[in-house]
Every structure is written in C-alpha cells, then in structure tokens.
C-alpha cells in the first residue's frame, strides 16, 4: 500500500523524484495536513453555527472550570433554560458550564444531588448580582431571569477552588 501511494506521488509531481525518502516524507506530511484541515474546518463550522465565539471574559473566567471545553452552548430564543448543579464525574460542575441566552430568559439551576452541597453565586465582575442558598438535595432549583444583556459569571462557593464555575452570555432578543 505504501509503495503504491509513494509511486503515485512521485509520478504526479516530477519535482520530488530526486529522493525516494524525500517523496515518502512529503507523502506523510500531506496526510497530516489533511487531518489538520478537517479538524479546523469542523471547529469553525461549529463556531459559526452557534452564532459567535466564546467572549474572552467568559473564556478567561472559565479557564480550568469543570466541564468547560472552550465552547458556549447556544440557548437563545428560549423562555426558560436549565443548568444542572452537581454535574460531571465528581458532581462538582455546572452543566453546561457556558451558555448563551436571550435577555428575558429565565435560567433554572437544578440540583442533581451529587457532589455535596452547592450554591450559585455571582462574582464581582458579573453584570448582575444573584445568590442561592447552599443546599445538597436533589431536585432543588434556583431561578434567575436576566433582563440586561451582558456577561454573568458565577461560582459554587463551596467548590469554587475545585473548578465549579459557570458563565452566561446574555444577548439581545
Ligand atoms: Cu459545589
């Protein structure tokens, strides 16, 4: 198989005929190039589909946060969205960690019952102030609606240092 592809390559590009090893290397390089190209293409496609990139402020804040993979989940246009509290393997994550919503959307945080007692508390740099009680029971909920556009940053205070952080980008309707 390898010989065949190399031969094809050499025939196709007269310039690289000089060294068989060089042609082999170039052939491998071409393969890698294709892989990278596909990866980038998919990444860009997803970003465009979601409408925008993750705001830098959110990306910085969520650096190292549990379940944050560098993307933001588009939940715009919904009356109500749900974010799980106590998600992930250890129950120390918000899921999704980053969401984009429309102003006037109500966010409902719902406790899974995993990972001990949690709360939802905005941090100083957040556009709005909000804070729930610290509870552990499954099914507990905390609601907050956001009328102003902007970036909402919050943590679970008992687990902030363990990466339990979340962010919401509120955009215009
Ligand atoms: Cu917590």
Q: What is the pTM of this model?
A: 0.71
- pLDDT at residue 56, rounded to an integer: 97
How close is the Cα of 34 to the center of ligand 1, in Å?
Answer: 42
How close is the Cα of 87 to the center of ligand 1, in Å?
Answer: 9
Give 126-172 pLDDT, tens digit per residue.
999 999 999 999 999 999 999 889 999 999 999 999 999 999 999 99
* DSSP per residue, the chain: -HHHHHHHHHHH-GGGGG-HHHHHHHHHHHHHHHHHHHHHHHHHHHHHHHSSPPPHHHHHHTTT-TT--S--EE-TT-SEEEEEEEESTTS-EEESSEEEEETTPEEEEEE-S-SS-B--EE-TTSSS--B---B--TT-EEEEE--S-EEEEEE-GGGGGGT-EEEEEEE--
Structure-model confidence comparison of residues 48 and 160, the more confident one? 160
Taking residues 106-132, what's their average pLDDT? 97
Q: Is the pLDDT of residue 81 over 90?
A: yes
- pLDDT at residue 52, rounded to an integer: 60
How close is the Cα of 81 to the center of ligand 1, in Å?
Answer: 20
Give 25-38 pLDDT, tens digit per residue.
333 333 333 333 33
Q: By percentage, how much of the chain surpasses pLDDT 90? A: 67
Give 9-22 pLDDT, tens digit per residue.
434 333 333 333 33
Structure-model confidence comparison of residues 51 and 63, the more confident one? 63
How close is the Cα of 155 to the center of ligand 1, in Å?
Answer: 8
How close is the Cα of 168 to the center of ligand 1, in Å?
Answer: 17
- pLDDT at residue 50, rounded to an integer: 44
How close is the Cα of 111 to the center of ligand 1, in Å?
Answer: 10
């Amino acid at each position: 198989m390898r010989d065949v592809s190399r031969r094809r390559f050499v025939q196709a590009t007269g310039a690289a005929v000089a060294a068989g090893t060089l042609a082999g290397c170039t052939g491998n390089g071409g393969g890698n190039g294709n892989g990278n190209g596909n990866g980038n293409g998919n990444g860009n496609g997803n970003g465009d589909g979601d409408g925008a990139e993750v705001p830098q402020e959110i990306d910085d804040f969520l650096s190292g946060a549990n379940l944050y993979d560098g993307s933001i989940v588009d939940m715009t246009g919904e009356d109500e969205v749900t974010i799980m509290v106590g998600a992930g393997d250890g129950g120390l994550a918000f899921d999704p960690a980053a969401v984009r919503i429309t102003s006037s959307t109500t966010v409902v945080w719902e406790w899974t019952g995993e990972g001990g007692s949690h709360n939802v508390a905005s941090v100083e740099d957040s556009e709005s102030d909000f804070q729930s009680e610290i509870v552990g029971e499954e099914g507990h909920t905390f609601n907050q609606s956001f009328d102003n556009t902007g970036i909402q940053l919050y943590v679970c205070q008992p687990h902030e240092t363990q990466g339990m952080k979340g962010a919401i980008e509120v955009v215009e309707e």
